[in-house]
Amino acid sequence: MTSLLGNMQHVVEGIIVVNTETIAGKMITQNLGVVGGSTVRAKHVGKDIGAFFKNIGGGELKAYTELLEESRSEAIGRMVADAAARGANAIVNVRFATSAVTGGAAELFAYGTAVKVE
């Protein structure tokens, strides 16, 4: 599985990203507010047509799986950049939201709470 973040999905510019409220073994000392990142992406028409014909036979649509994987990494990257700009060193309680703007294009949104931990 390849993503923009490489194989180690959690290592993003030295910021710890978790979807739990606390980080085990660390103490939250400062709350820096909600941070988020989003992206809208689409595959080109050729891939869409390919996916449509693949869809007739059913099963996984790899082109779309990849599309969402890439977009999600990008959304996380933007969220992390937002947190870094606020001087945070961790993001806790991360959530994801997806919406289909139009067929084949997807909006991915990642958000969480930027905190300082010790």
Partner 1 sequence: MASEIPLVLICGGIPALLLFLWVALWTIGYPLMFIWAVLTSSRKLDKRVTALVERETISKTHFGRDPLSTLRGEYHSSGVKKSGLVYSGVVFGPSHWHLLVAWWGNLIGGRIDILHRVIAAARAEAQQRLREQAQADGWDEVLNVRIDTAEMTPASQPKGVRAVEVFAYGTGVKYG
Query: To 5 degrees, how large is the angle CA 101–CA 105–CA 109?
Result: 70
Q: Measure the CA–CA gap between 63 and 58, rounded to whole angstroms.
A: 14
* Helix, coil or strand: residue 56: helix
Instruction: Note the residues at the interface with partner 1 (CB under 8 A).
Output: 1, 7-11, 16-25, 48, 51-53, 55-61, 64-65, 68-69, 72, 76, 94-96, 98-104, 106
Minimum CB distance to partner 1, residue 59 (Å): 6
> From the CB of 9, what's the least distance to partner 1, in Å?
6
Q: Which is nearer to partner 1, 33 or 52 (CB)?
A: 52
Residue closer to partner 1, measured from CB, 20 or 118: 20
**Are 73 and 113 within 8 A, CB to CB?**
no
Nearer to partner 1, 85 or 101 (CB): 101
- Residue 84 CB, nearest distance to partner 1 (Å)? 16
- Asked whether the CA dihedral 68, 72, 73, 74 is positive or negative, the reply is positive
